[in-house]
Amino acid sequence: IKQTSFDDLSNDLLLEILHRLPLKPAHRFKCISKRWGYLISQPQFAQRFIQRMKLLMKLLFPSQSPPFSLFFQCYSPEPFPIEFKQFQRDSNFRSSNFFFNFLPPNPKPTIYLGSSNGLVLCSTTILYQKDYYVCNPLTGSWVFLPWPPYCQQYNLVGFIRAGQLCVEIFSSDTSEWKQLIVHCEGLQHVADVTMFQTHPILANNDIMHWVNHYSGKILACDPNDEHGKCRLIDLPNDPDGMYQHKCLSVCQGRLQCLIICEEVSQHMIHRWEFLEDEDYIAGKWSLVARIPVCRSNQLLRVIAIHPVDPMILYLWKSKRIVLLNGHTEETDVVHYFAEDQFGCYDAMINAFQFVLQWWPTPVPQLHKGTLLIHIIYY
């Protein structure tokens, strides 16, 4: 009787086993043999894997998003290294690479600029940016982008000269920067153009939004529009929260504005969004929810919302990041900042949603389609 060996399994049967492996072993076992490596590297493998994960999530947790992290960066007075908080206990989505150690060594901490599709855009400086990296913090792969044609002091926002916007879009299809001069109605009247928040919020069909708290405006730019269309949107006019900090975030792909308001008997977090596409175009906000929150004598600020569940909010409370569950009204501390991470009371903390993909997105190989945007205003 012939001895059966594992190699006797046809590709189809071997795939039946491989498809039941979680993310990390699936990648690790590419190293077992050429045959295993070949089968796992096929695009159909990743597709079926993603479908299986989505189905599993649907059955187990109807409103569960793919795992995500919040990255916090304390900006001022000096940028601190990026902290992250992962909200997934699954070891498949943990990686020591989340400390961004794989980037080339630099005396200053990496500046986080934005993320999309599980990829992160970083730079090495806040001013005079020209070193840009696109990386996948789960896998530790990264690529250094060619230098943009212009390097001004402030990028993503510039200094006032005229009402014109120079938009530079990097496309990894052509490996080149494309420049567009765009007219943005009203931009010359914005009080302090340097105070736009440096990282964009991607929402409403991948349009990028930069908020300027001092003037109460949002700069919205559509990188997929061939003219690089930009416009200004007003932040919601909330009578209860006129002088309060307005946090811009995104939930289920829709732009959200969160304001802590003092109502008569207690504090409420007001959540504003655009109900319909026409409202988004017209800039017409609607108040969709009010979530109670405990009064506090200390600094309290909303910094982000959950990417899928609009009732879960993340607050910056004194030296802690706190999760507020609007369903149960319970709070939970998710992160403590060390004493020396705060320069002073005016420290700016930005928090960014980083949504992991079920199957890691490869970093752009220059000459294969992804789009990045770099705005200079001058």
Partner 1 sequence: MKFCTVKQYFDDENNNNVTNGIATTVIPLPNKHLKIKANNKEMEQYEQELLRNVMPQELTKLILAANYLNFKEALDFFCRTVANAIQNKSVDYVRKFFGLESDFEPGEEEKLCKEFAWSFEGVDED
Binding site for partner 1 (CB under 8 A): 1-9, 13, 16-18, 20-35, 37, 91, 94-97, 138-141
Q: Which is nearer to partner 1, 26 or 207 (CB)?
A: 26
Query: What tokens appear for 277 in the block?
Result: 């596409």
DSSP 264-282: SSSEEEEEEE-SSHHHHHH
Q: What is the DSSP letter of 311?
A: T
Looking at the DSSP bridge assignments, the partners of residue 210 are 219
Q: Which is nearer to partner 1, 28 or 183 (CB)?
A: 28
Tokens 């770099």 identify what position?
374
Closest contact distance (angstroms) between CB of 268 and partner 1 is: 42
Closest contact distance (angstroms) between CB of 96 and partner 1 is: 7
Tokens 């949002």 identify what position?
218
Closest contact distance (angstroms) between CB of 41 and partner 1 is: 10
Beta carbons within 10 angstroms of residue 23's beta carbon: 18
Closest contact distance (angstroms) between CB of 315 and partner 1 is: 31
Closest contact distance (angstroms) between CB of 333 and partner 1 is: 26
Contact residues for 203 (Cβ-Cβ < 8 A; gap 6+): 209, 250, 253, 254, 255, 256
Closest contact distance (angstroms) between CB of 84 and partner 1 is: 15
Closest contact distance (angstroms) between CB of 22 and partner 1 is: 6
CA 69, chain centre distance (Å): 9
Closest contact distance (angstroms) between CB of 69 and partner 1 is: 15
DSSP 323-336: EEETTTTEEEEEEE
Q: Which is nearer to partner 1, 37 or 253 (CB)?
A: 37
The conformational region for residue 318 under phi > 0 = left, psi -120 to 50 = alpha, else beta, is left
Closest contact distance (angstroms) between CB of 335 and partner 1 is: 22
Give SS3 for 49.
Answer: helix
Query: What tokens appear for 95 in the block?
Result: 């990686």
Q: Which is nearer to partner 1, 29 or 150 (CB)?
A: 29
Q: Which is nearer to partner 1, 18 or 184 (CB)?
A: 18
CA separation for the pair 133, 143 (Å, rounded): 6
Query: What tokens appear for 127 in the block?
Result: 């001013």
Contact residues for 121 (Cβ-Cβ < 8 A; gap 6+): 112, 113, 114, 115, 132, 133, 134, 372
CA separation for the pair 274, 210 (Å, rounded): 17
Q: Which is nearer to partner 1, 29 or 177 (CB)?
A: 29
Q: Which is nearer to partner 1, 5 or 328 (CB)?
A: 5
CA separation for the pair 11, 79 (Å, rounded): 51
Q: Which is nearer to partner 1, 37 or 146 (CB)?
A: 37
From the list 68, 63, 62, 61, the residue with the least C-alpha distance to 90 is 68
- CA distance between the termini of the chain: 80
The letter for the amino acid at 369 is G
CA separation for the pair 356, 373 (Å, rounded): 21
Closest contact distance (angstroms) between CB of 110 and partner 1 is: 18
Q: Which is nearer to partner 1, 43 or 239 (CB)?
A: 43
Hey, what's the torsion of the CAs at 306, 309, 313, 314, to 10 degrees? -30
Q: Which is nearer to partner 1, 2 or 295 (CB)?
A: 2
